[in-house]
Amino acid sequence: MPLPRSVARFNRVVTNRLTRPLAKHLPAFGVIVHTGRKTHREYRTPLNVFRGDDDHYVIALTYGPNVEWLKNLQANGTGELETLGRTWTVSEPRVFHDEQRAAMPQPVRFFLGITGVYDFVEVRRHRSQV
């Protein structure tokens, strides 16, 4: 069971504004830069980001797979990910369900299990830095 929409609204208005400047520099955090499907505006959404296999990053969908940043990324096919002080082009978003939360580090698996988060998105990180 993903987090309630009321928590998402609060985070979008309050928490995201506070964490956005720091998230792109901290381990396990990042900022996804995506373009609105209708507005064509650039948006910056802070997220928890973890290195996956090869050239991939994995993001837990704590609000479920029906979030605007993911819809924008899927519609455009590409975006940018700012993490650990670097900016990468990301593409090929692939949503998957994993009851074991195997792509997450062990402590994160525990907390995601408590909150009932089992949906994730994997994005390909391009070798060339933006």
Domain segments of the chain as ranges:
5-129
pTM above 0.85, yes or no: no
Angle (CA) 68-77-97 rounded to 5° is: 60
Tell me which H or E stretch contains 9: helix 5-10
For 59-74, what is the mean pLDDT?
A: 93
| Cα dihedral sign, 45-55-113-108 | negative
Mean pLDDT of 31-36: 96
Least confident span in 33-37, 79-83, 111-115:
111-115
Residue 5 pLDDT class (50, 70, 90 cuts): low
Query: Exposed, middle or buried by CB within 10 Å (0-12, 13-18, 19+), for 107?
Result: exposed
Report whether 45 contacts 69 (CB < 8 A).
Answer: yes
Q: Which fold has domain 5-129?
A: Pnp Oxidase; Chain A (2.30.110)
pLDDT at residue 122 tops 60: yes
